[in-house]
Structure 1
Amino acid sequence: MVAMTSSAAPPIAVVIPSYRVTRHILAVIAGIGPEVSHVFVVDDQCPDGSGRLVLADCRDPRVTVLFHEVNLGVGGAVMTGYRAALAAGCEVIVKVDGDGQMDTTLIPDFIAPILDGEADYTKGNRFFDLEQIGRMPPLRLFGNAMLSLMTKLSSGYWNLFDPTNGYTAIHADAARRLPLHKISQRYFFETDMLFRLNTLHAVVIDVPMDASYGDEVSNLKISRIVTEFAYKHARNFCKRVFYNYYLRNMSLASVEAPLGLAMILAGGGYGILHWVQSSRQHLATPAGTVMLSALPILMGTQLLLAFLAYDIASVPRRVIHKPRKQAPIAHD
């Protein structure tokens, strides 16, 4: 069990985006332990008045309720909470959903790697325990697996899984370096956060947690976000490659990627062109022509695989924040 020591404890904030969570949010707040000094509830123009409910019924002095005049989405609400926590001088900011899915007793497990200097950002992983995966709805399990694959490619964090998990913690130094106004405000924001953190070379690690699904109602409609997510993943991948391999640094991988892609396109185009011509003339394509097409495709594939191997090996491993000299975390 991980617990905070009583001396020199750093200020810890919890941000709770609030939208249609009136049945759960008071219990979520009540479950937050004494290691947390600030709780920011962000009412994202909630039609059920969850922010007003907290103001009326919650007596916890740590709680501050912030209201949006218009609905910004879960990402926008979290960014509002980040700004408030930074203004309050908090060292670590934890994001917890208000629907009761997340076990607040795990908060020390999320902040410990950050305060120990092992990570700048931590996030939950519901896939760590294979015995618990069976509790996750099959459709959500498949969707998370596909999203994880796309996120690895677009964010560069090949060591992570469960990208849509919203249970996260971040060090204030890392949060200050993020362009909060540019991060996606809707459901893509968790993945967009990872992309932005990678461009800072921040260290991100997974924290094992159990999957929990009760009577909460998800506002995420898969059919509406498939195309949007695919486009944004492709956009972030291109941006990340440009930032990390051309704008900020140059390496052998910077040559391998475009050269490999060019060879595949050239070989494929040459092969298709001659195949069409031979098909129209009802002739077999000469073996030499096939080789001239296949060889650049094979070489280009090898170059892209080499680039991919380099990219996987380049996952950030040195934290960007300044760890405390004496970490205020005790392990029982």
Structure 2
Amino acid sequence: MAVQRRLSEFPLLTGRSAMTENPAIAVVIPSYRVTRHILEVLAAIGPEVARIYVVDDKCPDGSGQFVRERCRDPRVVVVEHPENQGVGGAVMSGYRAALADGAVVIVKVDGDGQMNPALIPNFVGPILAGEADYTKGNRFFDLEAVRNMPSLRLFGNAVLSLLTKLSSGYWNVFDPTNGYTAIHRDVARHLPFHKISQRYFFETDMLFRLNTMHAVVVDVPMDAVYGEEVSNLKISKIVTEFIVKHAVNFCKRVFYNYYLRDMSLASLELPLGMALVLIGGGYGIMHWVMSARIGLATPAGTVMLAALPILMGTQLILAFLAYDIASLPRRPIHKKTWYASRNV
């Protein structure tokens, strides 16, 4: 295809022309109430992209038909859902279509205009270079630009990032809810599509699934853009759901990585540390209640018996976290394709 042959002409990738001679790059755009911006997003996607999949997730505005009638780009393919599946379900449908058509790298871009399509080469580059399996946007690299971000969103993102680090194991990434992503086909085809969260937990759940595969994830700097678009996300409705899902994913990840697939000193540090904290805390609370009932001060020896296991348990938990942070996946798992091997 002529579009594919022109990738080596793209300015940001000319240094790797031999490696990127004919990679099939696809873009997936989940479409739900974005008819005001979708045509502008499609028009901004450069010639380095071979195919664009607009996934109409049972959009009440009929975005699929809207694109068919008004977009003349031959690269655009409209995929329609008979029922709404959420952003995760829409992206998975786009992944399936792109994989079936032979895409090498699949980029996910939102249709609301918040993501600049000109950055697509920045997301694709590390994957084609064999440096990453999955790339995602990070709006927090430029501290000056962060000042333009709403305070509530800034605080919420910081909290979600901490929870995501714990549940996913990717301590080196930030801005977990950022949906500007790219993935290599050899990684995407091994994802359990039917298990990945279909709603707003999708991006975070993707990181958890990637960690269980030991995939390398890299952040890509990007600017935060906020226009007239209206988010469908209601924070009050998903806080409890997110906390529960983070806790479940953390337990699953620890079990998979530290007991099922491998065992190390960290496999002992976490349960022993938690047990000591619980024993010390329980013992201390029990004696504090007893002392309060009889009106006497708790003996110093009893306080030390409660404090010592808590301190030791905390140290063991911190040691586990240090091991976990140092265990980040560092070698990409996707196979070197012919265009990559030619540059070695």
- The TM-score range, normalised by the shorter chain, is over 0.9
Whole-angstrom CA distance in 1 between matches of 2:43 and 2:22:
21
Match of 1:2 among 6, 12, 15: 12
TM-score (norm 2): 0.94
1:306 is aligned, of 319, 324, 334, to: 319
**Alpha-carbon contact 2:134-2:216 (below 8 Å) kept:** yes
Do structure 1's residue 148 and structure 2's residue 161 form an aligned pair? yes
Instruction: State how many pairs are aligned.
Output: 330
Query: What is the root-mean-square deviation of aligned Cα atoms in Å?
Result: 1.5
Unaligned runs of 5+ in 2: 1-10
Matches within 5 A, 1:251-290: 251-290=264-303
Give 1:90's aligned residue. Answer: 103
Q: For residue 36 of structure 1, what is the amino acid of its counterpart?
A: V
Are residues 80 and 152 of structure 1, via their aligned partners in 2, closer, same or farther at CA, if it must alter by over 3 Å?
same
- Residue from 189, 195, 198 that aligns with 1:182: 195
- Asked if the contact 1:117–1:324 (Cα under 8 Å) also holds between the matched residues in 2, the reply is no
Instruction: State the percentage of identical aligned residues.
Output: 75
Cα distance, 1:287 vs. partner?
Answer: 1.1
1:9 CA displacement: 1.9
Structure 1 residue 259 displacement after superposition: 0.2
Q: Does the CA contact (< 8 Å) of 1:2 and 1:329 recur in 2?
A: no
Do structure 1's residue 48 and structure 2's residue 61 form an aligned pair?
A: yes
**Per the alignment, in what secondary structure is the counterpart of residue 13 of structure 2?**
strand
8 Å contact 2:57–2:85 — kept in the other structure? yes
- How far off is 1:3 after superposition? 3.0
Of residues 236, 248, 251, the one that matches 1:238 is 251
Aligned counterparts of 2:146 and 2:315: Cα–Cα separation in 1: 35
Structure 1 segment 1-332 matched on structure 2, within 5 A: 2-3=12-13, 5=17, 8-324=21-337, 326-327=339-340
**5+ unaligned residues in a row in structure 1: which ranges?**
none
Asked whether the equivalents of residues 22 and 339 of structure 2 are also in contact (C-alpha less than 8 Å), the reply is no
For 2:202 and 2:336, the matched residues in 1 are separated by 26
User: Does the C-alpha gap of structure 1 residues 144 and 301 become closer, same or farther in structure 2, counting only changes over 3 Å?
Assistant: same
Shift of 1:327: 4.0
Q: CA deviation at 1:324?
A: 3.6
Code of the aligned partner of 2:12: V
State the AA in 2 paired with 1:286: P
Q: Which amino acid aligns with 1:3?
A: L
TM-score, normalisation: structure 1? 0.97
CA distance in 2, matches of 1:224, 1:286: 47
Query: The residue matched to 2:48 in structure 1 has which SS?
Result: coil
Distance 2:323 2:180 in 1: 29
Partners of 2:339 and 2:49 lie apart in 1 by 19
* Cα drift, residue 284 of structure 1: 1.3
